[in-house]
């Protein structure tokens, strides 16, 4: 376990080097989502496989999450991107970097690519989207409802009964995060990139959606917006593709890295197997 000071924010960081101690085939930055997510989602799914294939892996708990510091304010999207920039600068990771973001983590990845295009080689976004006006409205509704519901004993009991005690513990922690910080009000107030900024994201992008996810409907729009973007759909999955179908996402990620020129070790995967 390691902690890095990002200009006053104590950030929990984990790095995995290539398992065979050889030269890194790629540098992959893993970005997790909001509320119930943390770097643990990657530690038990993608990160070990990426390191075993020869990648250098960087993952960290975003502000307010996991073991990172939880300031009362500072939760607009640009603050999360500032943290990522500061971490990359502190660790002297200049690029080119492969960004892999789950849910809100993908939104952070898109925002960094718009801000520092030369540093981002490619993006793999799982159940994610860039920040837009529609995104802000949707997040405002989701976060306000979560702020109300996740402090109710009845809601937590329902989660425990339907999803199990582990998910209930994550929901309880998310409720505390929302109660102790301004996250629910600040995320929707984020600075939103304009359409021209998004269209300027020229790096290759692969988006992964569950076929039963609400986000799947936006795939055609995003494929048309970004100059080099395509989508893969995982049958029968909703928003929690990373956790519910880790084997599929793992094969997609490894194949995507190979497609970007990473000389990974081990058996090649076939991109598109989930279509």
Half-sphere exposure of 66 (CA within 13 A, CB side): 26
Q: Residue 166: which pLDDT band, with cuts at 50, 70 and 90?
A: confident
The CA distance from 170 to 82, in Å, is 26
Provide, rounded to the nearest whole percent, the portion of the chain with pLDDT above 70: 96
pLDDT > 90 fraction of the chain, expressed in percent and rounded = 87
pLDDT at residue number 1? 60
Mark whether 160 and 56 lie in a shared domain.
no
Counting the structural domains of the chain, the total is 2
> Looking at 173, 189, 205, which one is the last position of a domain?
189
Q: Is the predicted pLDDT of residue 273 greater than 60, yes or no?
A: no
Same domain, 105 and 219: yes
- Residue 44 belongs to a domain with what CATH number? 3.40.50.1820
Regarding whether 177 and 52 lie in a shared domain, the answer is no
Mean pLDDT for the chain overall:
93
Do 215 and 251 have their domain in common?
Answer: yes
249 and 184 within one domain:
no
Q: What is the pLDDT of residue 20?
A: 87
Residues 223 and 182 occupy one common structural domain: no
Q: Over range 87-111, report the average pLDDT.
A: 95
Q: Does any domain span residue 136?
A: yes
68 domain residue, yes or no: yes
Name the nearest CA neighbour of 34 among 10, 9, 58, 65: 65
Give the least confident one: 129-133, 139-143, 159-163: 159-163
pLDDT computed for residue 42 by the predictor: 94
pLDDT of residue 95: 76
Residues 173 and 224 placed together within one structural domain of the fold? no
Give residue 269's pLDDT: 44
Q: Is 28 left (phi over 0), alpha (psi -120 to 50) or beta?
A: beta
Which region among 92-101, 119-128, 200-209 has the lowest average model confidence (pLDDT)? 92-101
Same domain, 91 and 7: yes
pLDDT band at 184 (very low <50, low <70, confident <90, very high): very high
Residue 159 lies in a domain: yes
Answer yes or no: is pLDDT of 255 > 60. yes
Range(s) of the domain holding residue 15: 2-130+192-259
> pLDDT tens across 25-83, in order?
999 999 999 999 999 999 888 999 999 999 999 999 999 999 999 999 999 999 999 99
| 150-167 core/surface letters (b: 16 or more CB in 10 A; e: else) | beeeebbeebbeeeeeeb
139/22: higher pLDDT: 139
Kindly state whether residues 252 and 124 are assigned to the same domain. Answer: yes
Domain boundary among 140, 155, 189: 189
| pLDDT band with cut points at 50, 70 and 90 for residue 234 | very high
């Amino acid at each position: 376990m390691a902690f890095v000071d990002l200009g006053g924010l104590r950030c929990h960081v984990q790095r995995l080097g290539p398992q065979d101690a050889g030269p890194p085939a790629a540098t992959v930055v893993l970005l997790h989502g909001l509320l119930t997510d943390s770097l643990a989602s990657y530690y038990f799914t993608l990160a070990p496989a990426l390191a075993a294939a020869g990648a250098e892996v960087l993952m960290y708990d975003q502000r307010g999450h996991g073991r990172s510091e939880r300031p009362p304010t500072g939760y607009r999207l640009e603050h999360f991107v500032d943290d990522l920039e500061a971490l990359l600068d502190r660790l002297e990771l200049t690029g080119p970097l492969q960004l892999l973001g789950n849910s809100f983590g993908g939104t952070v990845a898109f925002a960094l690519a718009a801000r520092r295009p030369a540093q981002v080689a490619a993006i793999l976004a799982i159940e994610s989207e860039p920040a837009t006006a529609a995104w802000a409205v949707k997040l405002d509704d989701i976060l306000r409802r979560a702020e109300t519901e996740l402090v109710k004993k009845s809601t937590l009991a329902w989660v425990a009964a339907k999803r199990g005690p582990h998910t209930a513990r994550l929901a309880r922690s998310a409720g505390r995060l929302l109660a102790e910080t301004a996250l629910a009000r600040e995320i929707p107030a984020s600075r939103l990139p304009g359409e021209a900024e998004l269209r300027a994201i020229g790096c290759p992008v692969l988006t992964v959606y569950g076929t039963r996810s609400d986000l799947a409907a936006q795939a055609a729009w995003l494929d048309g917006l970004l100059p080099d973007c395509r989508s893969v759909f995982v049958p029968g999955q909703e928003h929690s593709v990373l956790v519910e179908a880790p084997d599929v996402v793992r094969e997609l990620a490894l194949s995507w890295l190979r497609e970007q020129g990473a000389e990974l070790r081990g058996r090649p995967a076939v991109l598109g197997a989930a279509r």
